Chain A
């Protein structure tokens, strides 16, 4: 996608030599017109639309690529879809100057500002968007999110409750309402809205992740198993993205909690770490690194450390390994490369115990 080009310069910085001699007096209408003409001529060879706004203090320039049929608004929307909020805000701001009551511009500008953390302008624009078009439920949701980011929890909750009533088939409304209820400890209510969100948006990793998190809060084993399946689904949907990573972390944390449910050393992990030390004894760092990295890549979606029947194989090391066994290979390997490396699963005590046993083995007659 071609990119817009937007920039602002101080009026005093504009190179007056670029203008006809008779138009070099900043602050005059002739100066403003000459500046606009200058930039229009500069951008003319490129297919697109140019907007130039000149005042006493600054000159704002926006060039939007595309033919005569491409509107600046359509381009602004494409920027928002691409997550380019920084570029969208100045363009939407300029459009709002020309159309101050346009609910669509107000809504999109408010969303972009909210994403950038500019709470005050976001709240102002989104409130006006809701006033000017009460049928736009997405604007109501966006206003609630902006209020939440600004710490106005009660107002945000009220607006999300209104949103799910006005549009019961809006998955985003249910997801956001579920999230805010969950934050308030209203877990059963949160769960029902997350279920609705996941039903309406089954391929949306955010909605599926929200449901998984809500289920995991429960003590119910069936719900916890359902949560784990949903985390796997999120990883499928968003393998390289932040939601996939959050799902992996959640699975890892849960696995570690279960792993540690009985206090004290896990002797099975000690023995696996000892086995890893023995396997690595006759290998150089590069070989160890290769094994550890292969295990790490294999374990991107998590190992079943609490299931002794799970089986994994590596290209770089013969044998079949349980989830805990391969995790131990990975842990010990990374400690060999750099002591203290955090692999996201703590086996430090078991490793220390294994090292003591290994030293004893080496010094035994």
Chain B
């Protein structure tokens, strides 16, 4: 595949830092734009699966490499994975299907309820793990790789459009307030960050209209006050988790 020189350089950084190669796999039906599985014991290669026909492929691959680089900028005993907790799963389940839960009236069968719980809980944890650190990666790419900016701008704009849809009444009615507020606050923070990076005022407009900008500013403020190096990535995620009331819903798992 014809990647830009900047993306190739970033992939080489991953390989140099980790001693393991990066394998790209094109998957046209991937539901997201790209995802990375970092190398571990039985798979000694970092696998980046990407959507080949999506705009800005170079940026998506570079962005995913950013997560691997930041993880490996920490010494081995300071590298952690992000996991769920029984308490978190039970709380989400209760919020969805308990008395006065948003899905209580639907009387979903157990299997469907488990699936919905997994999706909602997993989605929120993925957002908490990815957004604040992803903003670090976006800032790094913007500053150090200006030739990727066109692809980066376009991709961030698409992401902002998608995020704004989560304010819709159908989602609002289905999601418990705790979950909706956490999701929307993180999206608001990312929108404010995108506005600043892309020199616009566009992406914060939806969140202003529903009174969420203060929450977004609060998270962005934490992001700015936490040191930007990779050694403080866990502190950053913890700061957001604490502010959003999600601290008991996840745990850090050492990567051995």
Q: Which residues of A contact B (CB under 8 A)?
A: 1-10, 13-15, 17-18, 38-39, 42-43, 45-46, 57-59, 61, 63, 82-84, 86-87, 240-242, 245, 285-286, 289-290, 293, 337-338
Residue B161 at the chain A interface, CB threshold 8 Å: yes
Distance between Cα atoms of A241 and B26 in the complex (Å): 8
Q: A290: which B residues are within 8 A, CB to CB?
A: 21
Could you list some 5 contacts between A and B, CB below 8 A?
A1-B55, A9-B210, A15-B211, A61-B209, A241-B28
Smallest beta-carbon distance B35→chain A, Å: 17
Cα separation A241 to B211 with both chains bound (whole Å): 42
14 additional A-B residue pairs with CB within 8 Å, beyond A3-B158, A13-B172: A3-B154, A3-B161, A5-B164, A8-B165, A10-B172, A13-B169, A39-B209, A46-B201, A82-B55, A84-B158, A86-B165, A242-B53, A289-B21, A338-B42
Q: Which residues of A contact B53 (CB under 8 A)?
A: 83, 240-242
* Among candidates B164, B200, B205, B211, residue contacting A17 with C-beta atoms closer than 8 Å: B211
Query: Please, how many angstroms separate the alpha-carbon atoms of A43 and B203 in the complex?
Result: 10
The minimal Cβ–Cβ distance linking B255 to chain A, given in whole angstroms, is 19
Contact of A5 among B28, B52, B161, B168 (CB under 8 A): B161
A interface, by DSSP: helix, strand, loop or mixed? mixed
- Flag B47-61 by CB within 8 Å of A: 1 or 0 each: 000001101000000
Q: Is the CB of B167 within 8 A of A9?
A: yes
Once A15-B209, A63-B202, A87-B161 are accepted as A-B contacts, the answer to whether A9 and B154 lie under 8 Å apart by CB is no
Q: Are B210 and A5 in contact (CB under 8 A)?
A: no
Given contacts A1-B154, A7-B164, contact A240 B26 (CB under 8 A): yes
Are A245 and B205 in contact (CB-based, < 8 A)?
no
A8–chain B nearest beta-carbon distance, Å = 5
Q: CA A58 – CA B209 in complex, angstroms?
A: 13
Within 8 Å of chain A (Cβ to Cβ): is B112? Answer: no
CA distance A43 to B42 in the complex (A): 52
Cβ-based interface call for B1 (8 A): yes
Please tell me if B98 contacts chain A, counting CB pairs below 8 Å: no
B165-194 with Cβ < 8 A to chain A: 165, 167-169, 172
Bound form: Cα–Cα A59–B167 in Å: 11
Determine if B251 is an interface residue (Cβ-Cβ < 8 Å). no
Cβ–Cβ contact B26 & A245, under 8 A: yes
How far is B154's CA from A192's CA once the two chains are assembled, in angstroms?
43
Beta-carbon contact of A8 and B26 below 8 Å: no
CA distance A178 to B241 in the complex (A): 56
- Report if A39-B164 is in contact (Cβ < 8 Å); known contacts: A2-B157, A8-B169, A338-B43: no
Kindly state whether residue B44 has any CB partner on chain A within 8 Å. yes
Q: Which 3 A-B pairs have the closest CB atoms?
A: A242-B28, A15-B211, A10-B169
B45 within 8 Å of A (CB atoms): yes
Would you give the shortest CB distance from B61 to chain A, in whole angstroms? 12
Closest chain A residue to B20, Cβ basis = A286
Q: Judge if B29 is at the interface, Cβ distance under 8 Å.
A: yes
Instruction: Give Cα A46–Cα B53 distance, bound, in whole angstroms.
Output: 29
CB-based contact A7/B167 at 8 Å: yes
Q: A9-B169, A337-B44, A338-B42 are contacts. A3–B29 as well, Cβ < 8 Å?
A: no
A57 CA to B172 CA, complexed, in Å: 13
With A and B bound together, what is the CA distance between A1 and B154 in angstroms?
A: 7
A285 touches B44 (CB 8 A): yes
Q: Which residues of the other chain, A, contact B44 by a CB distance below 8 angstroms?
A: 285-286, 289, 337
Residues of B within 8 Å of A43, CB to CB, are: 202, 205
Minimal beta-carbon separation of A300 from chain B (angstroms): 10
Question: What's the Cα separation between A337 and B168 when bound, in Å?
Answer: 47
Interfacial chain B residues near A4, Cβ < 8 Å: 161
Assess the B165–A7 pair: CB atoms within 8 A: yes
- Is residue B208 contacting chain A, with contact meaning CB distance below 8 A? yes
Residue on B with the closest CB to A2? B157
CA distance A12 to B237 in the complex (A): 32
**Nearest CB on B from A90, distance (A):** 9
Set B43, B154, B202, B206: member contacting A46, Cβ < 8 A: B202
Which residue among A6, A8, A58 has the maximum number of chain B CB atoms within 10 Å of its CB?
A8
Contact B209 A14 (CB under 8 A): yes
Closest to B57 in A: A240
Whether a CB of chain A sits under 8 angstroms from the CB of B160 is yes
**A15 engages B208 (CB within 8 Å):** yes
B7-29 near A? 1/0 per residue, CB < 8 Å: 00000000000000101001011
- List, in ascending order, chain A residues with CB within 8 A of B168's CB: 7-10
Q: Which residues of B contact A2 (CB under 8 A)?
A: 157
Bound Cα distance from A3 to B172, whole angstroms: 24
CB distance from B170 to the nearest CB of A (A): 9
Q: Tell me whether B29 and A242 are in contact (CB under 8 A).
A: yes
Tell me the smallest distance from the CB of A14 to a CB of chain B, in Å.
Answer: 6
CB-CB under 8 A from B209, the residues of chain A are 9, 14-15, 18, 38-39, 42, 59, 61
Q: Which chain A residues border B172 with CB–CB below 8 Å? A: 10, 13
Chain B residues lying within 8 Å of A289, measured Cβ to Cβ, are 21, 44-45
Q: A2-B157, A240-B1 are in contact. Are A9 and B206 (CB under 8 A)?
A: yes
For chain B residues 42-90, which have a beta carbon within 8 Å of chain A? 42-45, 52-53, 55
**Is the CB–CB distance between A14 and B210 below 8 Å?**
yes
**A309–B21 CA distance with the chains assembled, in angstroms:** 33
Closest chain B CB from A326 CB (angstroms) = 19
What are the residues of chain B within 8 A of A57 when measuring CB–CB? Answer: 169
